[in-house]
Structure 1
Amino acid sequence: MSDKLISKKKPAYPISNLLSKYLTEQGRNIKIPIFYDDLLRFQGAIEVFDDDGKDTLWISCYYAEYERDEIEHSLKQMYSILHSDGSDSIIPYLNIDSIDFCTFGNTKPFRVKVRNILNDNYIFLYVKKADASRIYGLELEHLLSPNHITFLVHEETLIEEHISGIPGDTFISNHLETLPEQDKRALAKEFVKFNERCFVRLLADMRSYNYVIVITQDFDRIQYRIRAIDFDQQSYEGNSKVYKPQFLKENNAFVTLSLNVLAKESIEQYEKEERSLLAKRATNSHKRLKNLINCMKKDTISTPEKIKELKAGLFKLTKDVNFKKSKNMGELLSNGLDYITRNYVNENPYIIK
């Protein structure tokens, strides 16, 4: 079902002047010491395999000696800008352990492993070709989800911090069946909320390898959170089903789990809870969100055919005429957020207005 719903190849959209101005105002648009094209100058590479000997579709790159030092120093500076004050004071304590290139997907990212030599701790950061769709997706994740996102943009280069967690497909294969019953209910609840969150904010293609499971040990239980890690399909597709992870075959295990351990009334309750939380986040970030969506309204991030299909699908679901009147993906997202705000915040008698 997934392959039929999702476009085989989504084009990359350039960053508009208006979006660039928004990113500058939010401290996202900043001069960086290295660009995506600089990393493409690798001289050779070897395949990277996982612990089971399976090809990860990443290759480990190596560079000419005369370029390696300059590239590594620039990447250390990039780490300092992303996680510190941008000064060179921490650079002597950093080491670039690896630079990997992904041969799969639209963005063809580089993954850089940065290690602190004093304590042996390390993190990953990603260098990608900038795409307006992905940037809208990252910023909407920051504003409308419970997660904060760190990323920087300069011209055609996008730098993202790593989002930690167990890839969804790995979790399904290796952990899902062995979970205690209480944990299954907690994870099913999170999947229902994640499903609703993706739909309202129009984030598509949440197949199991495009999100991670984050596990947190509480004092008396384990908490689960599902976090998106791929934002390329923000507000692009026309079929409304593609914005709900439940309709993607790779998530069948989570759908089955949710139907088995949650009552229909519980599912409806969790959906309502998530819509209410989304409406509150949208209200709390009103000014910044309005500025971002204004950029989307004046931008091209999809095709007329897909916009027409999606607005018909959303009108059919909600009977809200505002969807029918929408002219672009920005207006569709704006009307969707207005819809839940009207229904889950403005009509709440306990909200002080």
Structure 2
Amino acid sequence: MSRTLIIAEAGVNHNGRMDLAYRLIDVAAEAGADYVKFQTWKSENVISKHAPKAEYQKETTGEEESMLEMEKKLEFPFENFLLLKQYCEKRGIGFMSTPFDIESARFLFSLGIDIMKIPSGEITNLPFLEVLAESPCPLILSTGMCEMSEIEDAVRILRSKGNPEITVLHCNTQYPTPMQDVNLRAMLTIREQLRLPVGLSDHSLGIEVPIAAVAMGAEVIEKHFTLSREMEGPDHKASLEPSEMARMVAAIRNVEMALGDPQKHVTASEQGNIEVARKSIIASRRIRKGEIFGPDNLTTKRPGTGLSPMRWYEVVGTVAKRDFEEDELIEI
């Protein structure tokens, strides 16, 4: 199996502070993720002053401020992302950011990013998708809150300008996602119907779901992380803490190795166990030269260094060419 692309989703868990953003990059790099991903937007381009918060946002940040006011506090100016990209290069981890408006998407293109992520909320935003279809780099499309027909429409639009490199992520946008709503098998349906690489953008608690997704064939895993779930902000409570992110990455790499190849064969590590665990045809009692071998004087026991029991009927009925002691390996 090829290496799973692991995206550590910092998102807005920097709380609008560059020092926290740098620390998040450090955590993602130390955990072994391939990319750390932020979010890029201009609040006035994305959110009307009348837009309500999501219920999980109300639970985590209160209802006193509007969504626009909340997002404005979390918004980074464009110049910050160049600094973050440079710091990612210094730490040896890929930089990504999700745009939420056309101006932000074009800015990210100008940075020379090598992968562009399209968020679930923009999957029905036709003008936005048409701009993303011009992407010079591969696209990753999240599909939270989607029916299959909506995903098909979005993929058709993204392909309209000839971009063939699209990976589709199964996703549920509830933070956190209840286990009964994860619905991992839908990822396989997406792969089958669209014939595209698939993955998972996971918002469930813990690390079990992304590990299971890799075992099922996910080629990309995206998972939110934070410095601490006790921090204030909309997404911290549904995010992994640093040690959990590191465990998730390690577990995914182990699963990749464990999946191996589709051929069943004896591995190098177990080769030496064959002689210990298998059996041979041996004398069940003392046998004299000239006796006929049969069930009355033969049995099978370890070790497996003699004649295989699969040759039982080659041995039964033949004549002993010499004496054999009890438990001695039979020769013919």
Regarding TM over 0.5, the answer is no
Computing the radius of gyration from Cα coordinates, the structure with the larger value is 2
1 or 2, which has the higher helix percentage? 1
* TM-score normalised by the chain length of structure 1: 0.26
Name the TM-score, length of structure 2 as normaliser. Answer: 0.27
